[in-house]
Amino acid sequence: MDIRVQGAAPTTPFLSASDLFETEHDLERPVHVRVRSDPDERTWTAHPGDYHVLNISEQAATSAMARELALHEYSHMARHEQAHPSHTQSTAEALFLAFSGRSVERRKLTHCYQIANHMKDIYADDITLRVGPTDKLVAFLESELAAAVADRPAFPRGRRTTATADPEMTAVNAAFALALVERHDLVGRDHRLYDLARAAARDAPTVDVQGFKYRFLSLTDDPDESEYRKELVGATREYVLGGSNSTDGQAAD
């Protein structure tokens, strides 16, 4: 693998991640790591042409999770080079199919993109968790979910208001975390993640956490384009419409 780090960060985590990755996989295209000063910059991958780009904040690139984050993004790059349907299917196209003729709240549409990202992450982490350690990932999932669940009002009654975490999306995130650890048999059923998921489910009674967990968990290893599109359309429809089968309304925004 050809790794080129641009920015104020050590190269060690990215090279170490490539060593792990290359035990079972390789990338045909070089990887340009772009370290950005914005501490809120999310770690994400782009594929502008004949190379891949790993965008990461300086804070993340110098954290204890840097190697694991890089390994995860290399896995996304591998799925892209494989032309895996999870990484080639247009989310916008799937949403058009899911909600044609309906009016959908913009917040919900944004969440649908996150659901699509979770489905991509399932397939990327099928690679990541075969070649890398799992303890930091489990701790990260637990920490993120705990923070979101804790973001609740002090009073126990009435409508929930949250400052940053949306309770419905937190419930879907909980389902994703459970699906990932069960898909790879990472923790026991007495792990704290299950308590956090139950709390998230109570805060979002309209979201079927167990149903979403099963959707993520049961994604087949090698779907064709049609099969994957059906899964993505089904997941987003379930999130936005639940059990509704009505076709009244306008097209999605």
pLDDT in tens, 42-89: 788 999 989 999 999 999 999 999 999 999 999 999 999 999 999 999
- The per-residue pLDDT for 77 is 97
For the cut 80, the answer to whether the pLDDT of residue 115 exceeds it is: yes
* pLDDT, position 39: 75
Residue 39: how many other CB atoms lie within 10 Å: 9
Distances from the Cα of 23 to the Cα of 17, 66, 135, 191, 248, angstroms: 10, 19, 19, 30, 52
Question: Which residues pair with residue 36 across a beta bridge?
Answer: 57
At 152 the pLDDT is 60
Report pLDDT digits (tens) over 189-243.
Answer: 999 999 999 999 999 999 999 999 999 999 999 999 999 999 999 999 999 998 5
- The helix (run of H) or strand (run of E) holding residue 36 is strand 31-36
Q: Would the pLDDT of 153 be above 80?
A: no
Strand order in the sheet with 3-6: 3-6, 31-36, 52-57, 44-46
Question: What is the per-residue pLDDT for 160?
Answer: 35
Short-list 98, 96, 85, 91, CA closest to 234: 98
DSSP character at residue 204: -
Whole-number pLDDT of residue 243: 53
Average pLDDT over residues 174-186: 97
Describe the crossing of helices 167-183 and 135-150 by its angle, rounded to 10 degrees: 160
| Single-letter residue type at 26 | D
Is 156 a residue whose pLDDT tops 90?
no
- Average pLDDT value for the chain: 89
How far CA 230 is from CA of 78, 119, 237, in Å, comes to 23, 12, 10
Q: Residue 61 and residue 7: Cα distance in Å, rounded?
A: 10
